[in-house]
Amino acid sequence: MTLDTILEEIKNAEKIVILTHESPDGDAVSSSLSVMHAVAQLGKKADVIIPDYSKDFKFLPGADKILKESDIQKYDLAIAVDCSDLKRLVGAKEYFINAKKTVEIDHHSVNSMYADLNYVDPASPACCQVLIGMFEYFGIDINKELGTCILAGILTDTGGFQYSGVTPETFEFAAELLRKGVNISEICQKVLRNKTKANCELTKLLYDRMEFLENGKIAISYITLEDNKKTNAQIGDDEGLVEIERDIEGVEVAVLLKEKEGANGFKVSLRSKENVNVSDICFLLGGGGHSRAAGCFISGTLEQAKSRILEVIKQEME
Ligand code: AMP
Ligand code: MN
Ligand code: MN
């Protein structure tokens, strides 16, 4: 079974590196740290390499050990978490490609199975929830430190247990973590409720530019590089913006175009409420994600990116 082989690879490896997707969210950072803690219990030290991530996650146990870079040639085993495709390992891809063995642990339904060993469970609302099952199988003690990382990942990917992917097990695991002393209200405050000033400024711009199309079923807005500069926005400061659009009455698909530095185009974030599979839409444009939350990149001007994404959304909504 894959899990037995993964455990064997961890035990056989001297040097292990843990990697995740670009613009890492809470699940990405938390999954990386959770694997680091688990591997430590198996008697191995692993490097976590994340070139840049939101300061919201710096309180997580072990975050002080995260490296921005390391020696590309040195790893026996690379473990990628919360990442559906090799091309999303931006800034970390070289470590993966150069490792002697590769493992990925993920929960995206569209996954290109890019590692030697792929452990993917699309029924899990967060990669951290996939990890719980795996750690239990490995006999890892999910203590307060590890539990804090796991709960932070689950909370961020489920919007605080609110999104449709939540399963009965999510609550059972959360209950178990609370029994271990994990402080849920502190984690919620830090990863869900805390808003930076830049995030508030970007929210104002989001509302100002919001347009409603197709009888109010589509809400669309955008953020440019100039906006990021003016508001002094840092990585993670656009968290939660596209969800504001989705929460509006009558909106079925929410679209946020974010101009991407040095790429001559826009990162598109899509969210849907009930019926539209946004992962399918993003897949058509070379991206991916989940049925209710997905993303892709579209090159060109704002007008070009806008018209392309609207064209595909309208087709999918027919
Ligand atoms: P985002 O809009 O960036 O918050 O992404 C929403 C979901 O879609 C997350 O699960 C991402 O991991 C996934 N996602 C975003 N962009 C891409 C992409 N280009 N390819 C595959 N998955 C993506
Ligand atoms: Mn993620
Ligand atoms: Mn995730």
Going residue by residue through the chain, which has 318 residues, state the pLDDT in tens, using 9 for 90 and above: 899 999 999 999 999 999 999 999 999 999 999 999 999 999 999 999 999 999 999 999 999 999 999 998 889 999 999 999 999 999 999 999 999 999 999 999 999 999 999 999 999 999 999 999 999 999 999 999 999 999 999 999 999 999 999 999 999 999 999 999 999 999 999 999 999 999 999 999 999 999 999 999 999 999 999 999 999 999 999 999 999 999 999 999 999 999 999 999 999 999 999 999 999 999 999 999 999 999 999 999 999 999 999 999 999 998
The atom of ligand 1 lying closest to the CA of 279 is: 8
- At residue 151, the pLDDT reads 98
Tell how strand 218-223 and strand 211-213 pair up: antiparallel
Cβ-in-10-Å burial (0-12, 13-18, 19+) of 124 comes to buried
Distance of CA 213 from the midpoint of ligand 1 (Å): 23
Cβ-in-10-Å burial (0-12, 13-18, 19+) of 121 comes to middle
Asked whether 185 and 153 are in contact (CB, 8 A), the reply is no
Pocket lining: 287 vs ligand 1, CB cutoff 6 Å: yes
pTM of the model: 0.97
What does the radius of gyration of the chain's CA atoms come to, in whole angstroms? 19
Pick from 81, 106, 64: which is nearest to 30 by CA?
Answer: 81
Distance of CA 83 from the midpoint of ligand 2 (Å): 7
DSSP reduced 3-state for 105:
strand
- At residue 12, the pLDDT reads 97
Pocket lining: 24 vs ligand 1, CB cutoff 6 Å: no
Pick from 283, 289, 215, 208: which is nearest to 252 by CA?
Answer: 215
Pocket lining: 126 vs ligand 1, CB cutoff 6 Å: no
Domains belonging to the chain, first-starting first, are 2-193 (3.90.1640.10), 197-317 (3.10.310.30)
Q: Whose CA is nearest to atom 9 of ligand 1?
A: 289
The atom of ligand 1 lying closest to the CA of 296 is: 19
Distance of CA 148 from the midpoint of ligand 2 (Å): 17
Distance of CA 158 from the midpoint of ligand 1 (Å): 14
161: left (phi over 0), alpha (psi -120 to 50) or beta: left
Quote the strand ranges of 197-278, DSSP E: 211-213, 218-223, 253-260, 265-272
- Spatial separation of the C-alpha atoms in residues 294 and 271, rounded to whole Å: 7
- At residue 250, the pLDDT reads 98
Distance of CA 214 from the midpoint of ligand 3 (Å): 30
Closest ligand to residue 88's CA? 1
Q: Which amino acid is at 69?
A: E
Closest ligand to residue 246's CA? 1
Q: Which of 281, 290, 291, 299 to mutate to test the pocket of ligand 1 (most atoms within 8 A of CB)?
A: 290
Pocket lining: 20 vs ligand 1, CB cutoff 6 Å: no
Pocket lining: 271 vs ligand 1, CB cutoff 6 Å: no
- At residue 172, the pLDDT reads 98
Pocket lining: 295 vs ligand 1, CB cutoff 6 Å: yes
- Spatial separation of the C-alpha atoms in residues 244 and 247, rounded to whole Å: 5
Tokens 């599979």 belong to: 277
DSSP reduced 3-state for 295:
strand
Q: Whose CA is nearest to atom 12 of ligand 1?
A: 289
